[in-house]
């Protein structure tokens, strides 16, 4: 870009002299202190840099307020896929208005065409700095920090935003001027932007690409999964690792190599937090809660941020009342899950020495934390991760679940919860879930729970079974739920009328089509799901809903369309609620 030394204004490269004062312009490859971009943001200083972007502290001239500006690296200007994702993620992240999330204020481009994102400037330091300077945090303080971070995740997940890189470096501790902690979670959407850039640059090795920070990455990310295969449960796993580090002062796993750390997340069981350093007096309830949060199988973890927060509240309640032991919550599997049962009954693993953690960036009180270095949060694992992932995948996805299931059944079978209590707990779990809309009949006999009734679709049926399995004391679940398929009917007299077209009381017997959707219909349905996923990523919720509904019209059994429709409708409802409150 071109720059005027006299008035500090920037111009496109085509300009030769400043229109304001006729000063000859100079070419600048980077922004520098004093520059004014778009006539409203004055650059004060550079406060961070990474492979993707440079972060500057700037002043909004009209408002006389500080802002953090993230400017895309000039070498990425030719990557259309990256730029498109950067803009779309900025737009959708702008909708996230939560007191515990760093706010995105604006999206623009510099005079030479480099996109930049304008964000709320947070005065303070990150959680990494606090842990390394203070060591293990008091349990109550750690619970409060984790709760605020989880609240930000809950708001983001409701909009369909998955962070993908939760770590202490992205959790800012605002300087409030008193002893209270105000948490701000940074960089929502940035990891997904990075993932898109890497996919375009390494399309031939996508399966060997891991995006995330090895010390905090979820097992599914460590396995090389990406895109729609990663959801909010990955964020909750990473937040569990952060909470573990806050209360123990160390990570749950140690390794001298990134690959070793990835394999730990895929297959290793962490030492129980309360046994690492007894002098820290970590409640056993918190230790069990962390085991549940760090489950390898995401279906056994907390299924949403609300469950995670509820588990934190259980631990806080124990600390307030002084009542020790495991606090249970009907419908949640925290203490009653297979993992929790293993944590209470299995021999304690030998405590590991503190793993080497990434070195924090040092910055002054005026600085916002810089983006994590690419060596910390983006790892290219091509042939190695394919091989190691295959070995670990065989262990985790084939051998491990069978073993875990057997152990879970063994532990559950010893609990002997009365059948009437089981049925009541299941009803509570289903009633507390926003995903369950239908009335479901629940019965129990000898620890086996049976679900009956009609639900709206395959997604609700599967969710009901998953919630039921999470309840303490269940031996098995018989899922006899049914969901209606919107199949056209044929009038026996050849009229071809639908039930809605028949006069009341005169409907003819309906005959289902003898066969399901054609191969072409299924292919078109999958295409519409992919289209809906893209629209959902871009925040076009109404368009996404329409695409998913069209996909279901073609193939009512398309589970991805059903789950996508549920996510889009939830995101749309959340956005409408946000707009209503403004």
Would you give per-residue pLDDT tens digits along the chain (582 residues)? 676 877 878 877 677 788 887 787 766 667 888 999 999 999 999 988 877 888 999 999 999 999 999 998 877 887 888 888 788 878 878 888 899 999 999 999 888 788 999 999 998 899 999 999 989 999 999 999 999 999 999 999 998 889 999 999 999 999 877 778 999 999 886 766 655 554 544 443 344 456 678 999 999 999 888 777 889 999 999 999 999 999 999 999 999 888 889 999 998 889 999 988 888 999 999 999 999 999 999 999 999 999 999 999 999 998 988 755 443 333 344 333 433 343 333 344 443 333 333 333 333 333 344 444 344 434 444 334 434 444 444 333 333 443 333 333 333 333 467 888 888 888 887 876 666 778 899 999 988 999 999 988 776 787 788 778 767 678 888 999 987 654 444 443 444 444 444 444 444 444 444 467 888 888 899 889 988 887 887 778 888 899 999 999 899 888 888 888 888 887 777 767 666 665
Instruction: Please list the active-site residues.
Output: 165
Quote the pTM value: 0.58
Sheet with strand 171-174: strands edge to edge: 124-126, 171-174, 182-185
Is residue 55 within 8 A of residue 48, CB to CB? The reply is yes
Which segments are annotated as binding site for ATP?
70
Amino acid 145: pLDDT = 97
Q: Which residue has the tokens 């140690």?
A: 254
Tokens of 148: 């605020």
Amino acid 470: pLDDT = 65
Amino acid 66: pLDDT = 96
Cα–Cα dist 302/99, whole Å: 23
Cα–Cα dist 545/336, whole Å: 36
Amino acid 196: pLDDT = 52
Tokens of 451: 């679900």
Q: What is the total residue count of the chain?
A: 582
Question: What is the gyration radius of the CA atoms in the chain, in angstroms?
Answer: 27
Is residue 269 within 8 A of residue 396, CB to CB? The reply is no
């Amino acid at each position: 870009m071109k720059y005027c030394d006299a008035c500090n204004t920037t111009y496109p490269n085509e300009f030769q002299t400043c229109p304001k004062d006729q000063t000859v312009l100079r070419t600048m490859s980077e922004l520098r202190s004093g520059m004014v971009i778009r006539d409203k943001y004055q650059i004060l200083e550079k406060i961070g840099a990474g492979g993707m972007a440079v972060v500057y502290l700037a002043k909004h001239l009209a408002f006389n307020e500080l802002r953090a500006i993230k400017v895309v690296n000039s070498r990425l200007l030719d990557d259309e896929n990256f730029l498109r994702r950067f803009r779309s993620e900025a737009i959708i992240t702008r909708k996230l208005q939560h007191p515990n999330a760093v706010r995105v204020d604006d999206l623009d481009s510099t005079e030479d065409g480099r996109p930049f994102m304008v964000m709320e400037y947070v005065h303070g330091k990150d959680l990494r700095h606090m842990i390394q300077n203070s060591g293990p945090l008091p349990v109550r303080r750690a619970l409060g920090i984790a709760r605020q971070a989880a609240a930000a995740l809950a708001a983001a997940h409701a909009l369909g935003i998955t962070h993908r890189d939760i770590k202490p470096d992205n959790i800012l501790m605002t300087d409030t001027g008193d002893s209270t902690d105000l948490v701000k979670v940074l960089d929502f959407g940035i990891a997904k932007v990075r993932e898109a850039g890497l996919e375009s640059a390494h399309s031939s090795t996508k399966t060997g690409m891991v995006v995330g920070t090895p010390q905090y990455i979820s097992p599914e990310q460590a396995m090389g999964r990406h895109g729609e295969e990663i959801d909010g449960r990955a964020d909750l796993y990473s937040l569990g690792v952060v909470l573990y580090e806050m209360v123990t002062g160390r990570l749950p796993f140690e390794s001298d190599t990134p690959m070793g750390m990835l394999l730990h997340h895929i297959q290793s069981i962490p030492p129980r937090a309360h046994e690492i350093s007894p002098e820290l007096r970590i409640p056993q309830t918190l230790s069990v809660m962390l085991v549940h949060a760090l489950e390898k199988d995401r279906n056994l973890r907390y299924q949403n941020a609300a469950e995670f927060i509820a588990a934190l509240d259980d631990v806080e309640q124990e600390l307030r009342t002084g009542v020790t032991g495991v606090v249970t919550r009907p419908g949640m599997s925290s203490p009653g899950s297979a993992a929790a049962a293993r944590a209470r009954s299995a021999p304690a693993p030998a405590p590991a020495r503190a793993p080497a953690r990434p070195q924090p960036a040092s910055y002054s009180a005026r600085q916002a934390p810089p983006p994590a270095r690419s060596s910390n949060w983006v790892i290219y694992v091509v042939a190695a991760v394919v091989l190691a992932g295959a070995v670990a995948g065989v262990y985790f996805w084939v051998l491990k679940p069978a073993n875990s299931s057997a152990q879970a059944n063994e532990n559950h079978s010893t609990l002997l919860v009365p059948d009437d209590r089981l049925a009541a707990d299941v009803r509570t779990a289903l009633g507390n879930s926003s995903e369950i809309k239908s009335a479901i009949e629940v019965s129990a006999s000898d620890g086996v729970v049976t679900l009956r009734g009609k639900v709206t679709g395959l997604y609700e049926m599967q969710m009901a079974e998953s919630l039921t399995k999470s309840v303490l004391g269940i031996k098995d679940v018989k899922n006899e739920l049914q969901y209606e398929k919107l199949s056209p009917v044929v009038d026996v007299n050849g009229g071809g009328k639908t039930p809605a077209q028949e006069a009341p009381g005169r409907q003819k017997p309906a005959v289902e089509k003898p066969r399901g959707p054609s191969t072409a219909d299924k292919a078109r349905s999958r295409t519409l799901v992919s289209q809906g996923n893209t629209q959902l990523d871009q925040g076009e919720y109404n368009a996404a809903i329409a695409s998913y509904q069209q996909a279901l019209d073609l193939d009512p059994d398309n589970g991805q369309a059903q789950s996508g429709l549920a996510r889009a409708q939830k995101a749309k409802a959340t956005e409408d609620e946000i707009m209503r409150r403004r």
